[in-house]
Structure 1
Amino acid sequence: MSIVIINAITVPSDSGDELAQRFAARAGAVDGQEGFEGFELLKPTDGRDQWLVVTRWRDQESFEAWMASPAFGHGHRSAQEREGGDAPPPVSVSSEVWTFAPAGGSQPQDG
């Protein structure tokens, strides 16, 4: 059964565009990881300051294997760092990781 991992990132309102750009710069970095099923970056539209990074994995073990892999560290470094430069300042204030499993119920159907 799939699991959903959500990283809720608290971002000051003036840093949201920078966060989106950083995610766009590393788009696809996790795509080939065993057990990875999907990714979405969700920005708030209701005045909140939390952005959600939503990933879906085949199972908890696949997610944990990715976190322990060199690909995780590489994917979380900036382009400047990968080229030997300094890390840019963080855009987030804090983050929390939430784990969920689908609870069943109805699935969307094509109309």
Structure 2
Amino acid sequence: MSVVKINAITVPKDKQERFEERFRGRAGAVESTPGFEWFELLRPLEGTDQYLVYTRWSSQEAYEAWQSSQDFDRAHDGGGDTLASAAPHSAHVWTYEVLEYAGPKANQEKQV
């Protein structure tokens, strides 16, 4: 079964735009990493100032290989001075195993 990594990052309101800019400028190397299945950046709408970075992997080993790669280091270097981290030292990583999942049911009837 797949493994999900959720990085919960607290970002103060005045730094949220910079934080999102940093993600828009990401290199995207994770998408071609063996074992990578999914990525989502979730913006809080109410009740919290924590963003969630959701990634899904085919195995814990696939995630660990990504985490120890040079691409991971480049993706997490803060973007240099122009895109410095908006929320240093405010992240927590949660790990879950996917037990069940579902997607939309395919439409069995032809549309005319």
Relative to the length of structure 1, the TM-score reads 0.83
Q: How many residues align?
A: 106
Output the CA distance in 2 between the equivalents of 1:30 and 1:105. 22
2:87 is matched by which residue type in structure 1? Answer: S
Does the CA contact (< 8 Å) of 1:77 and 1:87 recur in 2?
no
How far off its partner does 1:101 sit?
Answer: 1.3
Percent identity at matched positions?
Answer: 45
Residue by residue, what CA displacement relative to the aligned partner does 1:49-70 show, whole Å, maximum 9, x if unpaired?
1000000100000000111111
Distance 1:61 1:13, change over 3 A: same
Distance 1:39 1:10, change over 3 A: same
1:92 pairs with 2:87: yes
Distance 1:90 1:3, change over 3 A: same
Does the CA contact (< 8 Å) of 2:21 and 2:83 recur in 1?
no
Does the CA contact (< 8 Å) of 2:3 and 2:95 recur in 1?
yes
Does the CA contact (< 8 Å) of 2:19 and 2:85 recur in 1?
no
How far off its partner does 1:17 sit?
Answer: 1.3
Secondary structure of the residue aligned to 1:16 is helix
Output the CA distance in 2 between the equivalents of 1:105 and 1:53. 19
Output the CA distance in 2 between the equivalents of 1:66 and 1:17. 27
1:66 pairs with 2:66: yes
User: Equivalent residues in 2 for 1:23-38 (5 A)?
Assistant: 23-38=23-38
**5+ residue gaps, structure 2:** 108-112
**5+ residue gaps, structure 1:** none
Larger Rg: 2
Distance 1:68 1:110, change over 3 A: same
Query: Which residue in 1 is equivalent to 2:110?
Result: none
1:16 is matched by which residue type in structure 2? Answer: Q
Residue by residue, what CA displacement relative to the aligned partner does 1:3-24 show, whole Å, maximum 9, x if unpaired?
1100000100111111111011
RMSD of aligned Cα (Å) = 2.0
Relative to the length of structure 2, the TM-score reads 0.83
